[in-house]
Structure 1
Amino acid sequence: MVITATVTEDEVTRIRITPQKHQIGLPHAEATTGRIVPIAHDESSRVDFGAEVYGIDLNEFTDADFEFISDALHKHKLLVFKEQREMLKPQQQYRLTSSFDPEETTGGFAHGHDPYLTSHNGVDFYGTTKRPALPDQPQVHILGRGLLPEGHFGFPPGFEVQGIDHEEFHLPPHIPMEEREAGASRFYQWHFDGSLYNIPPPRVGCLLAVRIPKGPDVTVRWEDEVGTKMKMAPGATAMIAGSRALALLDEETRQVVFNSRIKYAPHAFVWMSTAHSSKLGHLIETEGLEKPLDKLPKWEKSKVCVYPMVWTNPKTGEKSLQVHGQGALKLYLKNRPDGEETVVEDLAEVRAFMDRIMRPVLRPENIYAHPHQEQDVILWYNRALWHSITEFPKSYGPRVVHQCNVAASDHPTG
């Protein structure tokens, strides 16, 4: 691939790309019309990722556009596509997402098969009330909360998406409802997308903003001893770079994570469903409430995921601390490649270590929460960022977003 870049005075980068080979299934073009504008973060921010993309219609993107997008995503880790002429079609959202993994041939949803949900006008719908799938493209799901637009992809009249509620998952005491309706919020769950069992985690995630809640910024609370909090747009998805998380560790701990692995619980989300999350959304509280392994849906030892703690960006070589604190079951710790391995099985000790490596980055200055605008498309590199949804007052109206992530063809190997 040949890249020629020029930077104008307004810091807009235009890149001409000539693909070495055509992206399978995409219209061919000799060059892209895309241009990149890095997101300008506040002076107090330590966030170093994110860019806006202009000049590409995702409903008609070409192979040259995709090469541009892929390079930009691996560099910036989060892309926001602006000025789309119309809502991104589900088929194009799936095409964009799946193009990042041409070796993946099953086209499967990253969390496995969806259950039957309902039927309307002879059409069967699958998923759950919190994550229904679009019948036109079942890899694309609806997330958010509230009433769907009338006739939205054939869903029954009055269909409402059931949103997150930290009272259902977080350790009490919870934020009182009157304070939540006044704009108090929490991070629900810090994670990368993936089932954590059998199915490889997606390379990318993609969101289309269909309906966005309207109202003042919410105030996300840490509810720690010093009252840490930050403001962000209602319905925003908060993001953190795993590279920043890695950089904030002391040298001794950094050597441990470079050489260590995590064993995740089989059917991890079923396993943790009877337990409580920490108030910060990064760990499960150790109360002995996890569903016993012998009470989980049938699982096989060979399909349990054991992943390195540090993952490498294949295009830039950048290293990221990429961990899911809530799903961790067992740790295999080493401080050098040829060092002696220590196995940690006690859940309290596992979580103490996960808190040690995750909490340093969980600070306002390291978090970016993009203020979605309707029709915007958000694309992120799922193997380098953590993210969490946040709550917002019901009085702000519905949040309706289309999400697409596709199981990868490979598991992370470091």
Structure 2
Amino acid sequence: MHDLFAAEVRGLDLVAGPDGATFERIRDAFERFSVLVFRDQDIDDERQIRFSSRFGPLETTKVGTNGAGSQLVVLSNLGADGTIVPPTSRQMLNNRANQFWHADSSFKPVPARASMLSARIIPSAGGDTQYCCMRAVYADLPQRLKDAVEHRVAIHDYGWSRGRVDPELVTEEEKRVVPPVRQAMVLDHGACGRSLYLGAHAARVEGMPEAEGRALIDELMAFATQERYVYSHQWRPHDLVLWDNRAVLHRATPFRGSAEARHMVRTTIAGDGPTVAVPHVAA
């Protein structure tokens, strides 16, 4: 799908479910390409949960998110009655926040390993999802920037990032449940190389003056999101896309959200450990 990453898996019926050998081929492709596209998968929530669970335990959706308490995240501009919600609604504001480059659950002490998104209803134009290959980004970083991020830790803060959309968007309960956390700025993937780990939730750099840390994050993000590192997925009905949150960033693109429906369902495969050993977050 792109010179650097992302691949389409063909000839697979996820309704029936892949056998063990086929699943291992899928897992190997996931490790290699970071983003996998499965076309024409008309699956329901239960089948999506069953397939994604084969990659590992699923996260339980946090408080304040559509789908809270379940294994599903519902990314939609539709209300419970099936009509489009107002532009100023909390649901729409959260959708707007997802248009920033981010890695799912990087604001948790153990960030997500992977995400699987199913296209149930898509608009006629826009509403794509873009992915950025952070392994290729790290490999291409100028040595000056590699030196700047080596052994560095960024503070990922959900309240801070959502506050960029609306200062009142995150409730006090959400802030209590997901306080700021420390994340390594570089992740090691063994044979697959290293990746830069940042995104919209990265508020500051530990041990650096705030302005200096923000300048470094902004410079790194500008480098990372150059067109040559980006794959734009134009959704078709019943597409299913799996991606590695520790190797790519992603974002949604705008669409006519006040006039057309977009309804997507996500399952999130939990990570297997923190990116840094010490949980303390500096003030």
In the superposition, the TM-score normalised over structure 2's length comes to 0.81
Residues 56 and 188 of structure 1: CA distance in aligned 2, closer, same or farther (over 3 Å): same
Name 2:35's counterpart in structure 1. 78
TM-aligned CA deviation for residue 312 of structure 1:
2.3
Q: Where is the strand percentage greater, Structure 1 or Structure 2?
A: 1
Which residue among 107, 113, 116 is the counterpart of 1:196?
107
TM-aligned CA deviation for residue 55 of structure 1:
1.8
1:318-356 per-position Cα deviation (integer Å, ceiling 9, x unaligned): 21111135433332xxxxxxxxxxx21x32222101012
Q: How does 1:4-403 map to 2 (within 5 A)?
A: 39=1, 41=2, 47-61=3-17, 62-84=19-41, 87-101=42-56, 104=57, 107-109=58-60, 112=62, 114=63, 127=65, 131-132=66-67, 138-146=70-78, 156-158=80-82, 160=84, 164=92, 188-194=99-105, 196-198=107-109, 200-215=110-125, 234-264=126-156, 268-275=157-164, 297-298=175-176, 305-314=181-190, 316-331=191-206, 343-344=207-208, 346-394=209-257, 397-403=260-266
TM-aligned CA deviation for residue 207 of structure 1:
0.8
For the residue of structure 1 that corresponds to 2:15, the secondary structure is helix
TM-aligned CA deviation for residue 63 of structure 1:
2.1
TM-aligned CA deviation for residue 250 of structure 1:
1.0
1:127-146 per-position Cα deviation (integer Å, ceiling 9, x unaligned): 4xxx346x9xx212221324
Q: CA RMSD in A?
A: 3.3
TM-aligned CA deviation for residue 236 of structure 1:
0.5
Tell me the matched-pair count.
Answer: 270
Residues 407 and 348 of structure 1: CA distance in aligned 2, closer, same or farther (over 3 Å): same
AA aligned to 2:204 is L
C-alpha separation between the residues in 2 aligned to 1:275 and 1:379? 27
C-alpha separation between the residues in 2 aligned to 1:380 and 1:146? 25
Q: Where is the helix percentage greater, Structure 1 or Structure 2?
A: 2
C-alpha separation between the residues in 1 aligned to 2:139 and 2:46? 38
AA aligned to 1:213 is P
TM-aligned CA deviation for residue 95 of structure 1:
2.4
Q: Identify the structure with bigger relative contact order (alpha carbons < 8 Å, sequence gap 6+).
A: 2
C-alpha separation between the residues in 1 aligned to 2:101 and 2:82? 31
1:28-60 per-position Cα deviation (integer Å, ceiling 9, x unaligned): xxxxxxxxxxx2x4xxxxx51111111221122
TM-aligned CA deviation for residue 90 of structure 1:
1.5
For the residue of structure 2 that corresponds to 1:158, the secondary structure is coil
C-alpha separation between the residues in 2 aligned to 1:411 and 1:253? 23
Residues 48 and 273 of structure 1: CA distance in aligned 2, closer, same or farther (over 3 Å): closer
The percentage of counterpart residues that share the same residue type is 26
Structure number with greater Rg is: 1
For the residue of structure 2 that corresponds to 1:58, the secondary structure is coil
TM-aligned CA deviation for residue 384 of structure 1:
0.2
1:157-189 per-position Cα deviation (integer Å, ceiling 9, x unaligned): 3354666459976xxxxxxxxxxxxxxxxx821
In the superposition, the TM-score normalised over structure 1's length comes to 0.57
